[in-house]
Copies of this chain bind each other. A is one copy, B any other.
Amino acid sequence: MALVVAKFGGSSVATAERIKNVASRLVARHRAGDQVVAVVSAMGDNTDYLVDLARSINTNPPKREMDMLLSTGEQVSVAVLAMAVEALGVPAISHTGAQVGIYTDDTHTAAKIDHISAEHIRDDLSEGRIVIVAGFQGINSRGEITTLGRGGSDTTAVALAAAIQADFCEIYSDVDGVYTADPRICPRAHRIDKLSYEEMLELSSNGAGVLQLRAVEFARKYGVVIHALSSFVTDSPGTFVMKAEDIMTNDSMEGPVISGVAHDLSEAKITLRHVPDIRGVAAMLFERMAELNVNVDMIIQDISHEGLTDISFTAPLNDVEKLTPACKELSETIKADGVEINTHIAKVSLVGAGMKSYPGVSAKMFRVLADNGVNISMISTSPIRISIIIDADQCELAVRALHTAFGLDDEDSSGSVKVVR
């Protein structure tokens, strides 16, 4: 008998039929003797509908009221999923974030979980119920509804799993696990059986969207084993995300050098040309970006030539509009040679815990790309990741070439992957 938290995203509960499918899975699990807590997101595009409604009424809606509004989406999901489970003859009970005791700070629309009081859930489970909890939402110390922001439902699931000491936290989505690359652009990509938290964090933050970064961080902190599965494909073993030590112990002493190739087309590259090399210019620039809440990713500053240097950085495409005037203003203030913005870039990342102990991974990466005619415009590394910025048009070519060169190609299949969209 296992104690399991299972999280289902918006596409898994988008229609009445899909909700019934989720209910069947939960009931099968329950009948097999497991104790099951489900965490669900809002149905399909319900959240988009509510956001549009809000903006049609107030172009800058108060965040407290946005939380009041958006939290209804998950409340609908939990109620109808409980009804679907009961229709199959198993007792169920739904809870909002507030009811289950997911206490957060006061940051409306992007609240952080402070603590969880899990007694309700334990009581319900001991009564033989399937417990269904609204993801994405909590309550602050004043009793106001908060939401956790992007990736909130995954975080709810992992946090609940930690609070009730669940054996696993299953995250169901429309893909049956984590892949060595995005199967849509790399047909020879294959599902990874096991990954360390660190590798998953690098993959998540570099464009592999199956698991939310924040939830993986939470899982690492509390040692929650994540099991990524598909809502639609039932015969795939999925991907486990766990401590690196546990992976090493269970399998070969030497893991693969590279776990996967991630790519990300959601960033832009911003360059300030011929910046006078005076003290504090970079600080001024990135302080200004921080004030604007721009999530700066890679940063490169060239070596100074004759007192002039170029500063480049990448940031989300969505932030280009708000950062552009600030960069132009700064360029004039410091008498630089203007701002160049390239919105047609790709970030491609090699990720693998194994690369720590293998020298020459970056050299091999650059050689492969050079042989394929791919120009690199920025490079950034961590102990288990190498990321490069290239032209967006060369993204597919680069991912496939690296995937093959680092021995990731699936020899068994020729591109038949279990993805339902």
Contacts and interface: CB of A to CB of B under 8 A. Distances in A.
B83 A65 contact: yes
Contacts of A84: 57-58
A378 interface: no
Interface in A15-31: 16, 19-20
A54 interface: yes
Given A58-B86, A69-B79, 7 more contacts: A57-B83, A57-B87, A58-B87, A65-B80, A68-B78, A68-B94, A71-B75
Interface string A77-97: 011101110110000111010
A99 B86 CA distance: 28
Interface string A47-58: 000100110111
A247 interface: no
A356 to B, nearest CB: 49
A86 B61 contact: yes
Interface in A128-143: 143
16 contacts: A16-B56, A20-B57, A50-B76, A53-B76, A54-B80, A57-B80, A57-B84, A57-B87, A61-B83, A62-B83, A62-B86, A64-B93, A68-B78, A69-B80, A96-B145, A99-B143
A72 interface: yes
Contact of A68 (B53, B56, B69, B79): B79
Contacts of A78: 68
A62 B91 CA distance: 10
Please tell me how many copies of the chain the complex holds: 2
A73 to B, nearest CB: 8
Contacts of A69: 75-76, 79-80, 83
Interface string A266-310: 000000000000000000000000000000000000000000000
A6 interface: no
B54 A83 contact: yes
A141 B56 CA distance: 37
Contact of A72 (B65, B66, B72): B72
A82 B68 contact: yes
Nearest to A15: B56
A94 B76 contact: no
A94 B80 contact: no
